Amino acid sequence: MKKSILGCVLLCAAAGLPWSTLCASTLTDNVLSNAGTLEDKAIAWRHDIHQHPELGNQEYRTAALVAEHLRALGMRVETNVGTTGVVALLEGGKPGPVVALRADMDALPVQEQTGLPYASGISQAYQGEHMPVMHACGHDAHVAILMAVAENLAGYREQLPGSVKFIFQPAEEGPSDYVYDGERFFGARLMVEQGVLENPGVDVIFGLHVTSSAPTGVIGYRGGPIMAASGDLHIRVQGRQTHGAQPWNGVDPIVASAQIINGLQTVVSRQTNLMPAPAVVTIGTIKGGNRHNIIPDLVEMSGTIRTYGDEVQQQVNNQIRQTVEHTARATGAEAEVTIVDNYATTVNEPALTERMLPTLKRASGGRVFPSPLVTGSEDFSYFAQQVPGLFFFLGVTPMENMGRAAPNHSPEFLVDDQALITGIKALSALTTDYLTASP
């Protein structure tokens, strides 16, 4: 049963306690208790969204579903933010801080192989091609959880000492309609540029990500850096074409590329201080030539760079350029290096993490663990650059499947529906505990 503000005030007075001591606990008790009534709804929403996935900046159906739900809860809703994003404001009955909660909506160009009764049969345009689409990273769970959190908190609107901004973000995995060139922003970065954290100004932001690497309902947390910065690496090695039987008459960009790839391994192993945090440089594609006995003019390579912290990111980028360019020249070739830093390091504000850890423990029944550094990347990082943020992981793999579960981004990736309730409780309680404990 929901307790009124007057009732809570009387309880506080009778106990000789301030509002922030007893009433904060009362409000959080209520949202935690009420979360269970929304579990079936959240599961149904997730199945529906999973069956109808949409790529970055094409989340029209998902956005419409979210916007309709938020309007029905009486919120002020803005659509088409950052292309297809949805933002809603829940104004509490008392003045106070503004908490933002974020969920990403987009899926991936992956052919689903789960065999689920609600498996995706959708395909969409992706970078000029028609591709199968799947929620292979669990964003369907994120959306369903936050929709349930919105309904949960809306039921206690008059008791909230502050406001809650719900951010449903497109294109966390990147845009599907063009190749990102570093000049045009997308996803969280575009929403920040368009003022999503303003009017009213956000004081703190919370978000979560499901993971198959942890058991169902277990929460992973970490203060400070938690997910890596990500850079796209593109290399063009220019040689001079000649017959494969007469390599001395040209410049072989394939041999130069092989030496460049070997040299790049020393950027991490010999040129980067790995004591504070790891770094990764990976070449994922290499294309050159079209016949076995012709040395081509050009080889093109692409890869990814993962680091922690802006200073290390720029150091590694500079070392890559130097290694590639000098190695190419040593063979007589020339190399052009393009690096697009498209995700920053996701950093949890340490004091905020420590402050909210008891809430995460309570919401999960004490099932929390300190997360290791994760070399995956997240554009939640751009929100957390602007305001204090806390981003945590939610396990979605039944214990009996641990060690055998397909990873995120796999065509066989699965979400255990029993994890959703923990996500609903965690985001709801983080909000109420933060609002009621703030001066």
User: What one-character-per-residue DSSP string does 126-170 give?
Assistant: ETTEEEE-B--SSHHHHHHHHHHHHHHHHTTGGG-EEEEEEEEES
Q: What percent of the chain has pLDDT over 70?
A: 92
Q: What is the mean pLDDT of residues 292-301?
A: 98
Least confident among 177-181, 225-229, 234-238, 347-351:
177-181
Q: What is the pLDDT of residue 179?
A: 61
What average pLDDT does the segment 371-396 reach? Answer: 97
What amino acid is encoded at 348 in this protein? N
List beta partners, residue 210: 394
Does the pLDDT of residue 12 top 70, yes or no? no
Residue 180: what pLDDT? 59
Do strands 129-132 and 389-397 pair parallel, antiparallel, or not at all (unpaired)? unpaired
- Give 21-48 pLDDT, tens digit per residue: 445 568 999 999 999 999 999 999 999 9
Looking at the chain, the whole-number percentage of residues with pLDDT higher than 90 is: 88
Give residue 183's pLDDT: 66
> How many CB atoms are located within 10 Å of the residue 81 CB?
19
Per-residue model confidence (pLDDT) at position 257:
98
pLDDT score for 16: 45
Can you give the pLDDT at residue 276?
86
Q: Which residues are catalytic?
A: 106, 172
Report the 10 Å Cβ neighbour count for 280: 15
11 pLDDT band, cuts 50/70/90, is: very low
Token digits of residue 394: 């939610």
pTM for this entry:
0.91
Write down the pLDDT at residue 1.
39
Q: What is the model's pLDDT at position 177?
A: 84
The pLDDT score that the predictor gives to residue 246 is 97
| CATH code assigned to 5-227+351-437 | 3.40.630.10
Residue at 415: amino acid letter? V
176-231 confidence digits (pLDDT tens) = 986 656 667 899 999 999 999 999 999 999 999 999 999 999 999 999 999 999 99
Average pLDDT over all residues of the chain: 93
pLDDT at 10 over 70: no
Q: How do beta strands 76-81 and 129-132 pair?
A: unpaired
What number is the average pLDDT over the span 117-133? 95
Cα separation, 109 vs 426, in Å, equals: 30
Q: Which of 131-140, 181-190, 357-366 has the lowest mean pLDDT?
A: 181-190
Phi, psi of 263 (to 5 degrees): -65, -35
Greater model confidence, 284 or 309? 284
The residue ranges of every structural domain in the chain are 5-227+351-437, 229-343
Cα dist from 201 to 97, 164, 345, 371, whole Å: 9, 11, 23, 30
Is the pLDDT higher at 142 or at 19?
142
What confidence score (pLDDT) does residue 378 get?
97
Which residues, listed in sequence order, are joined to residue 348 by a DSSP beta bridge?
A: 224
- The pLDDT of residue 262 is 97
Q: What whole-number distance in Å separates Cα of residue 17 and Cα of residue 425?
A: 26
Task: Report the CATH number of the 229-343 domain.
Answer: 3.30.70.360
Residue 115 confidence (pLDDT) above 50 = yes
Tens digits of residue pLDDT in 59-108: 999 999 999 999 999 999 999 999 999 999 999 999 999 999 999 999 99
Mean pLDDT of 364-386: 97
**Residue 24: its pLDDT value, please?**
58
DSSP 36-48: GGGHHHHHHHHHH
**pLDDT tier for residue 439 given thresholds of 50, 70 and 90:** low
Domains 5-227+351-437 and 229-343 fall in the same CATH topology: no
